[in-house]
Structures are given as C-alpha cells and as structure tokens.
C-alpha cells in the first residue's frame, strides 16, 4: 500500500524527529484563505494539436469561466514585455514542510500569484496576440507549473532528509535548517533555493508540463524565467548560473552532504551521492501535495481551483470536537502549535491547533483515520 501522511508523521513522531510549530522563513497565510485542491486530471486533458490552433478539449463545461480568466489575464498583460517583479518566489508560493506543519504540510500557491505570472508571460507573446479562453488555459497551466516546480523541489529535499533520518535514527532536516538554510538566507550560497529555480526552468520541457502547450507559449515562459531568475534575491538568482558552471546533479549532491551533516562545509564528498540517485525522489505523488489559496470571501476565477472550496474550509476547533465524538482524547506530547489525540483502536492524530481553515491534506488524513470516507463525508459530520 502507498505511504500515507499519517503513517509518516506517526513514525517521525515516535522517533522524536519532528519540530512541529517551529518558526521558519516562510509560513504563509492559511487562515486568511480558503484552500482548494488542484484538479490535475482536468489540467492534463490537453489536445496535442495546440500548435495548429485547434481548441483544447474541455469537459468542464465552463467556457464562460475561462473567458473571464482570459479577460483578467488580458487586463494584467497591458504594456511592454516585462518579467515579474524581483520578489522571492516564496512570496508567490511556499512549501510547508512535514517536520514543522505535520498534517497541514504541502505546496501552497496563491491564486493571485498564478494570475500574476500568467499576465507576465502574456507580455512575451507576439504583439497583438489575442488572449482567448484557449490561450488563457495554457498561460494558467504554465504559470501554475512554474510555481509548483519550485516548491516541489523543497519537498524532494525534505524527502531525502526523512530517508536519512529513518536510516540513522537521528535528526537531519531540523539541524540542516538551523545550521545551513537559515544562516545562508540572503546569500548566493543558499543552494536549495538556487536549485529550486533551476528545476522550475529545466523541468518545464518534460511531457507532463509541456504537453498541450503551444510552442509560442512554452518559449515565452522560458524567456520570462531567463529574464526573471537573475533579478531574484541572493541564492534564488543563481538558478541559471548553476547550469553555466556545473551540473544540476553535482550541485544537488553537494547540498545532500550539507543536509546529511547539518553543516555549511560538510566533510562528506558530494560524489558519494552518485550511487544513490533515488534518495531525492518525492515521498508523495506530485498530484497530492499542492493546493491553491483563495482569499476568504472570494470565489476562484479558475475552474481548476474552484471545485468544493467552501466544503474544504473546516477549522481546528470544529475538527477537534468531531474526533472527540469518535472517542479520541488529547494526550501529552503535542509540540508547538499542534495537539496529539489518541484512540483505543484508531490511528493517532496530530492536529494543527487554532487554524481557521485546514488543508485538504489534513481533512483527508482525518477522514481516513476515522473511516468516514471522503472529505465531503467528513464535512457533513462537522
């Protein structure tokens, strides 16, 4: 059976490897937003004939919605060819690591950021290009892919640390963050952010992200990144420079030595990691780890994000009341902003505390632990 989040968290908790609730560089704003799943299956239903101008097949029956998306992108793309502002990528989307966020972990992408990047890509299209529903879908897809790929690299890094922790039964991720990542912020030595930028540039050509996107829009996206990445803050701005002086794999392996030892200048030689290329493979499927954040009180414009948003907005307080009805009781051992609940026969639950809106990942895990079926079934019980 595939690994579940609750299995992973309970294992790490039993080995005292978590750092739940600890402060970090990017904590985002979950409470001010509703959290939507991304309908990846809809996104991947793409017609490969887009270069010949044919319409992408859509089964969502929401062409009016896509026309509104196209109008919003057109509004944002007025003016000359311009890359996005030189802000940190993590201000547009962010990764909430398992070690600090528990069940609330994942890749979080602001819908506003998706539109922001899509609008900038549109300025790189040929002059006079009309942004219709077909073009809008491709621009949103490319923008979403760029932001996702950056943050997904951070999940790969945490996946490596978790594997090393289980083997050694010693903390790796927390010491790395305390002794390497945080001290190197605002320097060009912050290799994790540099490589995350490298991945969001190089992996766009993979079939998963490239299929269904016209040559014009694909090259426009790459051109945006070529102009944008060098303007980013220290560390991030080295994303393309990595490919000029070394290889992605060699620099990543050097980073793995830093993580393994929790030291900026590790003694372990980076070449040793060449025999373990799967160590950075993501622990969870790329379809399962990402969400879109929509400001509370607003409705998503993008049909891929809007399905069932209101049903997914459940607070920690309401969920705590529900699991207690199922026979759970709070026990000692909760850390930081998390509380631990145990049951005589059901799996242990470590629940984020004082959250007004829990992620679909939390709700899925709790629904599985309670055996109530889907998130919607869980919501009906709250």
Residue 72 lies in a domain: yes
Among the listed residues 369, 377, 358, 378, the one whose alpha carbon sits nearest the alpha carbon of residue 328:
369
CB 110 within 8 A of CB 148: no
> For position 124, what pLDDT does the model report?
96
Residue 300 lies in a domain: no
pLDDT at 196 over 90: yes
The residue segments making up the domain with residue 279 are: 23-294
Residue 346 lies in a domain: no
* Residue 12, C-beta contacts closer than 8 angstroms, at least 6 positions apart: 18, 98, 99, 162, 165
Structure tokens at 262: 């929790």
Residue 81 lies in a domain: yes
Among the listed residues 290, 257, 61, the one whose alpha carbon sits nearest the alpha carbon of residue 172:
257
Residue 310 lies in a domain: no
Q: Please state the domain count of the chain.
A: 1
Residue 8 lies in a domain: no
Residue 350 lies in a domain: no
What band does 307 get if pLDDT is binned at 50, 70 and 90?
A: low
pLDDT at 257 over 90: yes
The mean pLDDT of 234-243, rounded to a whole number, is: 94
The pTM assigned to this predicted structure is 0.87
Q: Tell me how far CA of residue 246 lies from CA of 146, 179, 241, 250, 371, in angstroms.
A: 22, 25, 8, 7, 50
What pLDDT digit, counting tens, does each position of 131-145 carry? 999 999 999 999 999
Residue 166 lies in a domain: yes
* Residue 73, C-beta contacts closer than 8 angstroms, at least 6 positions apart: 115, 118, 119, 122, 131, 136, 139, 140
> For position 61, what pLDDT does the model report?
55
What band does 312 get if pLDDT is binned at 50, 70 and 90?
A: low
> For position 132, what pLDDT does the model report?
96
Q: Identify the residue with better confidence: 331 or 306.
A: 331
CB 367 within 8 A of CB 326: no
Q: What percent of the chain has pLDDT over 70?
A: 92
Lowest-confidence range among 69-83, 130-144, 158-172? 69-83
* Residue 356, C-beta contacts closer than 8 angstroms, at least 6 positions apart: 30, 31, 313, 315, 316
Among the listed residues 136, 32, 148, 51, the one whose alpha carbon sits nearest the alpha carbon of residue 92:
148
Q: Report the run of H or E that residue 357 belongs to, with start and end.
A: none
3-state secondary structure of 36: strand
């Amino acid at each position: 059976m595939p690994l579940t989040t609750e299995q992973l968290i309970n294992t790490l908790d039993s080995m005292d490897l978590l750092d739940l609730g600890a402060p970090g560089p990017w904590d985002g704003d979950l409470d001010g937003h509703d959290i939507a799943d991304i309908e990846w299956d809809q996104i991947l239903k793409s017609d490969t004939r887009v270069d010949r101008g044919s319409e992408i097949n859509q089964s969502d029956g929401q062409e009016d919605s896509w026309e509104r998306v196209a109008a919003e992108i057109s509004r944002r793309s007025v003016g000359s060819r311009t890359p996005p502002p030189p802000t940190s990528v993590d201000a547009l989307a962010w990764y909430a690591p398992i070690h600090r966020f528990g069940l609330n972990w994942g890749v979080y992408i602001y819908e506003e950021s998706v539109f922001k990047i899509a609008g900038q890509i549109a300025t790189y299209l040929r002059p006079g290009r009309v942004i219709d529903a077909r073009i809008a879908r491709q621009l949103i897809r490319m923008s979403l892919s760029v932001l996702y790929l950056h943050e997904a690299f951070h999940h790969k890094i945490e996946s490596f640390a978790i594997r090393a922790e289980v083997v050694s039964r010693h903390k790796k991720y927390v010491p790395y963050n305390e002794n390497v990542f945080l001290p190197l912020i605002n320097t060009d030595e912050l290799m994790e952010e540099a490589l995350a930028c490298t991945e969001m540039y190089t992996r766009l050509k993979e079939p998963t992200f490239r299929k269904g996107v016209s040559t014009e829009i694909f090259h426009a996206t790459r051109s945006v990144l070529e102009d944008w990445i060098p303007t980013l803050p220290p560390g991030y701005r080295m994303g393309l420079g990595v490919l000029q002086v070394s290889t992605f794999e060699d620099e990543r392996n050097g980073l793995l030595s830093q993580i393994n030892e929790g030291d900026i200048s590790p003694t372990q030689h980076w070449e040793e990691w060449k025999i373990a290329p799967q160590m950075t493979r993501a622990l969870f499927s790329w379809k399962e780890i990402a969400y879109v954040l929509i400001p509370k009180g607003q409705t998503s414009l993008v049909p891929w994000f809007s399905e069932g948003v209101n049903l997914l907005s459940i607070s920690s307080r309401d969920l705590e009341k529900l699991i207690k009805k199922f026979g759970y009781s709070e026990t000692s051992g909760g850390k930081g902003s998390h509380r631990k609940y145990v049951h005589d026969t059901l799996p242990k639950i470590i629940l984020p505390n004082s959250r007004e809106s829990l992620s679909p990942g939390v709700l899925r895990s709790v629904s599985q632990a309670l055996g109530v079926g889907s998130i919607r079934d869980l919501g009906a019980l709250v």
